[in-house]
């Protein structure tokens, strides 16, 4: 019987083993893909097997080794990390199935390199999710960036290289200049006794030091700023440019970036440091992060507006992601326990909807070689499954019941109410409500026309000359599965909500 602590080590080790196996079996594609799928299922099973322990409130800690004296690579399983790890490892399974259909359907080159990068990225994601201290989180945050870089530049064209430069440039610049700076600063403050340590702590690491004036609130506020902008993966404006640039990647990679690992890592880190490094109490008491509410609100509306003007389908989806990510950040920035619950839940909700949308976009590209919204007239008749799934994803983004997007919007609005009762209603609550209203309308305005075109407009004469059907079965299976999850999760989201409830309690 393996203990939960060993399971954590295995959940990191299995994807690394998968990487080796995939890289070595490049000559036999079927074996290679078998390894990918086995790794994906095994990793998810390992992570999921930790669920009971987390619900029982067991303390699961692993310290692998000390990189530098006093700075260990250490892991601890807590509910918030569990949510992210579950989402990432679960969605990697359909993502892998989809990749196989897409890569074979489009005869892409260098498939071994392609498949071997995914397990590395998933290992990084698991590392981020279970990181016990700010150093460990930073290390895996960086390895996630580096391991996804070859995926983004997969095509190797001039365009891909240029986009890769933007991707790496923005993500590494923000993480080195801001996040690393904050990490080191916290480590030094911990040495000087002005922070309780570099470990993630309920209530934050500064609570005691602030109370005894060992550290000034201004420094903590500055650290908060450094951290939020040091997490470029959360795509908060103005550091969002890397996400549309990364659209040059093959669609499975886009889905992976947008729903499985990368941007989810960003918002997860934002919630994690808000709750476990700074602490809601601290942030509220000293009024430190109010600006974040407005920046994320602005990002939501601005990104939605930009999305409405994109004709390229994947670009439109990318800006939609930027907007949706800021929902998570905004929910966290309410600095109320219920807000943290809403943020946690939206990480899951958005993942299911967005992966479906990207799968559909890639499916259209594979079957019909179309990339623009304006080319999609009547395509719903030829690809009913794909476009039905797209519709499900789109409606979930808008927040229509019975889809999971509605549930997270419900909790978000609840948390605004909670904030109103806790701190008294002022402009900020009104602002957040207005942002949600505006963004819902905008979401509807840029998603529904696509659905309308696909199902209600006739095929053009040009299209009539090029008949095509649905995409390969692997693709259709994958997107049907995630679309089904999006619906199912509206009715049965108990596990995620239970975990989110634990996060809420930790944040109290």
**Chain contacts with other proteins (rule: CB under 8 A):** 65-69, 71, 138-139, 142-143, 146, 153, 156, 161, 164-165, 168-169, 172-173, 176-177, 180-181, 184-185, 187-188, 191-192
Q: At closest approach, how far in Å is the CB of 160 from other proteins?
A: 8
Min dist. Cβ of residue 406 to other proteins (A): 40
Query: What is the 3 state secondary structure string of 78-123?
Result: CHHHHHHHHHHHHHHHHHHHHHHHHHHHCCCCCHHHHHHHHHHHHH
Q: State the minimum distance, in angstroms, from the CB of residue 504 to other proteins.
A: 32
Residue 4 C-beta: closest distance to other proteins, Å = 25
Pick the closer one to other proteins by CB: 153 or 396.
Answer: 153
> Using CA atoms in the order 327, 450, 481, 81, what is the torsion angle rounded to 10 degrees?
-10
Closest approach of Cβ 487 to other proteins, in Å? Answer: 41
Q: How far is the CB of 187 from other proteins (least distance, A)?
A: 6
Minimum distance between the CB of residue 189 and other proteins, rounded to whole angstroms?
8
Q: What letter does residue 179 receive in the DSSP assignment?
A: I
Q: Which is nearer to other proteins, 176 or 211 (CB)?
A: 176
Decide: 171 and 257 in contact? Cβ < 8 Å: no
Evaluate whether 442 touches 305 at the Cβ level (below 8 Å).
yes
Using the minimum distance from each CB to other proteins, give the nearer residue, 138 or 358.
138
| Closer residue to other proteins, CB minimum distance, 156 or 384 | 156
Of the pair 185, 489, the CB lying nearest other proteins is at 185
By C-alpha distance, which of 15, 9, 142, 122 is closest to 75? 9
Listed in sequence order, the residues at least 6 apart from 424 whose beta carbon sits closer than 8 Å to its beta carbon are none
For other proteins, give the closer residue by CB, 12 or 436. 12
CB of 183 to other proteins, least distance (A): 9
Nearest distance from residue 21's CB to other proteins, in Å?
19
Report the run of H or E that residue 76 belongs to, with start and end: strand 71-77
Q: How many CB atoms lie within 10 A of CB 506?
A: 18
Work out how close the CB of 322 gets to other proteins at its nearest, in angstroms, rounded to a whole number. Answer: 24
Please say which residue, 165 or 468, places its beta carbon nearer to other proteins.
Answer: 165
Choice between 266 and 337, CB closer to other proteins: 266
DSSP one-letter code for 346: H
As a whole number of angstroms, the distance between CA 158 and CA 125 comes to 29
Nearer to other proteins by Cβ, of 67 and 441: the residue is 67
CA distance 401 to 419: 25
142 phi, psi to nearest 5 deg:
-70, -40
Residue 379 and residue 452 in contact, taking contact as beta carbons nearer than 8 Å:
no
Cβ closer to other proteins: 176 or 430? 176
In the block, tokens 């619900």 appear at: 55
Cα maximum dimension of the chain: 76
- DSSP 8-state secondary structure symbol assigned to residue 239: S
Q: Which tokens hold the place of 69?
A: 């004296």
Task: Tell me how far, at minimum, the Cβ of 294 lies from other proteins, in Å.
Answer: 27
Residue-wise over 281-312: b if at least 16 C-beta within 10 A, else e?
A: ebbbebebbeebbbbbbbbbbbbbbbbbebee
β-pairing, 60-68 vs 71-77, is: antiparallel
Please, which residue, 217 or 417, has the CB nearer to other proteins? 217
- Burial letters for 218-254: b for 16+ Cβ neighbours within 10 Å, e otherwise? ebbbebbbbbbbbbbbbbbbebbbbbbbbbbbbbbbb
Query: Closer to other proteins at the Cβ: 83 or 187?
Result: 187
Contact 32, 22 (CB under 8 A): yes
- Nearer Cβ to other proteins (183/343): 183
At its nearest, how many Å lie between other proteins and the CB of residue 188? 4
**Per the omega criterion (within 30 degrees of 0), is the bond before 355 cis?**
no
- C-beta of residue 21 within 8 angstroms of C-beta of residue 13: no
Task: Write down the least CB distance from residue 424 to other proteins, Å.
Answer: 37
């Amino acid at each position: 019987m393996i203990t939960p602590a060993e399971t954590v080590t295995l959940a990191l080790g299995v994807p690394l083993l998968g990487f080796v196996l995939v890289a070595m079996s490049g000559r036999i594609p079927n074996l290679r893909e078998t390894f990918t799928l086995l790794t994906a299922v095994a990793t998810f099973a390992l992570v999921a097997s930790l669920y009971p322990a987390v619900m029982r409130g067991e303390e699961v800690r692993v310290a692998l080794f000390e990189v530098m004296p006093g700075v260990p690579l250490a892991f601890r399983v807590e509910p918030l990390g569990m949510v992210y790890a579950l989402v990432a490892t679960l969605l990697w399974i359909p993502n892998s199935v989809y990749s196989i259909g897409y890569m074979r359907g489009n005869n892409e080159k260098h498939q071994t390199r392609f498949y071997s990068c995914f397990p590395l990225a998933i290992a990084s994601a698991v590392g981020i999710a279970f990181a016990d201290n700010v150093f460990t989180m930073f290390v895996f945050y960086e390895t996630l960036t580096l391991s996804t870089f070859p995926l983004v530049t997969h095509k190797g064209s001039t365009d891909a290289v240029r986009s890769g430069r933007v991707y790496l440039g923005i993500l590494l610049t923000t993480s080195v200049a801001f996040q690393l700076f904050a990490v080191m600063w916290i480590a030094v403050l911990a040495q000087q006794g002005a922070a309780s340590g570099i470990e993630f702590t309920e209530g934050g690491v500064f609570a005691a030091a602030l109370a005894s004036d060992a550290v000034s609130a201004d420094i903590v506020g500055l650290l908060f700023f450094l951290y939020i902008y040091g997490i470029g993966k959360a795509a908060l404006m103005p550091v969002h440019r890397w996400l549309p640039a990364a659209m040059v990647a093959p669609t499975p990679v886009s889905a992976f970036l947008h729903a499985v690992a990368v941007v989810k890592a960003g918002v997860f880190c934002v919630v994690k440091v808000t709750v476990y490094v700074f602490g809601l109490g601290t942030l509220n008491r000293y009024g430190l992060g109010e600006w974040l509410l407005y920046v994320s609100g602005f990002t939501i509306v601005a990104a939605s507006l930009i999305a409405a003007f994109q004709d390229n389908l994947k670009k439109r989806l990318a800006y939609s992601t930027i907007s949706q990510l800021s929902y998570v950040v905004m929910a966290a920035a309410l600095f109320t326990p219920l807000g943290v619950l809403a943020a946690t839940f939206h990480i899951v909700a958005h993942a299911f909807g967005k992966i479906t949308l990207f799968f559909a976009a890639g499916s259209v590209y594979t079957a019909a070689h179309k990339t623009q919204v304006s080319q999609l007239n009547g395509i719903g008749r030829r690809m009913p499954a794909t476009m039905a799934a797209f519709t499900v994803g789109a409606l979930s983004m808008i927040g229509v019941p019975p889809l999971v997007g509605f549930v997270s919007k419900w909790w978000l609005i609840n948390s605004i109410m909670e904030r109103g009762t806790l701190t008294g209603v002022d402009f900020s609550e009104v602002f957040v409500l207005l942002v949600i209203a505006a963004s819902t309308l905008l979401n509807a305005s840029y998603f529904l026309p696509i659905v309308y075109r696909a199902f209600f407009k006739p095929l053009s004469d040009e299209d009539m000359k090029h008949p095509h059907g649905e995409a390969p079965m692997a693709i259709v299976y994958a997107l049907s599965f995630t679309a089904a999850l999006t619906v199912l999760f509206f009715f049965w989201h108990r596990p995620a909500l239970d975990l989110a409830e634990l996060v809420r309690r930790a944040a109290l």
